[in-house]
Amino acid sequence: MSKQWTLDGLNCANVNREQMEKTLKGGVHALNCTSMRPYATLAESLVQLETVRASVAAMEDLALVVRSVVDIEHAVETNRVGIILGTQNSTMIEEDTALLASMKELGIRILQPNYNKPNRYACGAPQTGPADTGMTDAGADWLDEMHRLRLVVDLSHCGHRSTTDFIAVSRGRPLVISHANAYAICPSPRNKTDDHLRGVAETGGLCGAVMWTPAVRHDQRPSMDDYINHVDHMVKVAGIDHVGFASDTTESPATVADVWDRTFGPNGTDQNITGILGEWFTYENRLNSDFQSLGHTPRVWDGLEKRGYKMDAIEKIMRGNWLRVLNDIWGK
């Protein structure tokens, strides 16, 4: 498998034929697919999961659900997209963490303890200062069960104190931050501090540098150089073996303008994350000036090479580190 291909640490795009064709055009052969909406009930989550599974089954020439690194390798060999079923919240199983085993049986392989609102397990990124009360006792139980089941623990949307707490009690078992950037470069609550980056690296995990505009730059529309500035910093702090790639780019079909504006735009629900960007942050300029589609993923490879990264380092960032961590967590 020497060809240039990418594993996307987080993608929220619809699972349809048009999207899979764009994904393959960009050389992306595996992605962490958000298969349940963050605040859905258990019943709603199961319906959403089955919709994704049915969509993948209906286009088996383009995609397959993967449950192991071997499955991802098979996706590459057969020129398909390996769909890693994931969710960005665990609210749907708050009543009983034993349901994590059921989620695993249904194919889910990566979960976050919470999204942007506080839940039974932790607080989200928009909760800052005293509002972030950290990981709860139930959150510690959730973490233990996740590790026991060999599911990927993702801390992307946790608040800073909550992130610190999960790292502190992980006891060396790998954690990931699938899609966040360096707080030192862009001080968004959605980004992670240097201590977080180092802490996750010390567990053997990784942080996926993300293309999502509010996490890259606030004063002007970000470019590829702005994105790679985050990669540079994260590599410096965490090490080349602990940084990955994540797009978090929605397309096919794209969110309509008014819905975007009141959700993830300047008038969105989390004002300390999306409401603090400059006047340039409009629907038309919402994506990175050099990256608006997974079809543009080769531009990331080119940008890293222009910045001075050697091919072995680029391969680690774009897929190798993800494959190592997934194999360490999932096992054979």
pLDDT tens per residue across span 80-111 = 999 999 999 999 999 899 999 999 999 999 99
Is residue 1 predicted with pLDDT exceeding 50? no
pLDDT at position 76 is 98
- What backbone phi and psi angles, to 5 degrees, belong to 317? -65, -45
Angstrom distance (rounded) from CA 32 to CA 29: 11
pTM of the entire predicted model: 0.97
Query: In percent, how much of the chain has pLDDT > 90?
Result: 95
Query: How many separate domains does the chain show?
Result: 1
Six-digit token string for 62: 């383009």
CA distances from 75 to 24, 42, 60, 293 (A): 11, 30, 11, 20
Amino acid 4 reads Q
Contact between 158 and 136 under an 8 Å Cβ cutoff? The reply is no
Whole domain around residue 111: which residue ranges?
A: 6-330
Q: Is the peptide bond before 298 cis (omega within 30 degrees of 0)?
A: no
Six-digit token string for 244: 């990955």
The domain spanning residue 178 has which CATH number? 3.20.20.140
Q: Decide if 189 is inside a domain.
A: yes
CA distances from 27 to 6, 72, 224, 318, 329 (A): 6, 13, 18, 11, 25
Q: Decide if 16 is inside a domain.
A: yes
pLDDT tens per residue across span 207-239 = 999 999 999 999 999 999 999 999 999 999 999
Q: Write down how long the chain is.
A: 332
pLDDT tens per residue across span 273-290 = 999 999 999 999 999 999
pLDDT tens per residue across span 239-269 = 999 999 999 998 877 889 999 999 999 999 9
pLDDT tens per residue across span 312-324 = 999 999 999 999 9
Q: Decide if 316 is inside a domain.
A: yes
pLDDT at position 253 is 78
Contact between 35 and 86 under an 8 Å Cβ cutoff? The reply is yes
Mean pLDDT throughout 112-116? 97
Contact between 20 and 71 under an 8 Å Cβ cutoff? The reply is no
Q: Decide if 111 is inside a domain.
A: yes
Q: Decide if 1 is inside a domain.
A: no
Q: What is the mean pLDDT of the chain?
A: 96
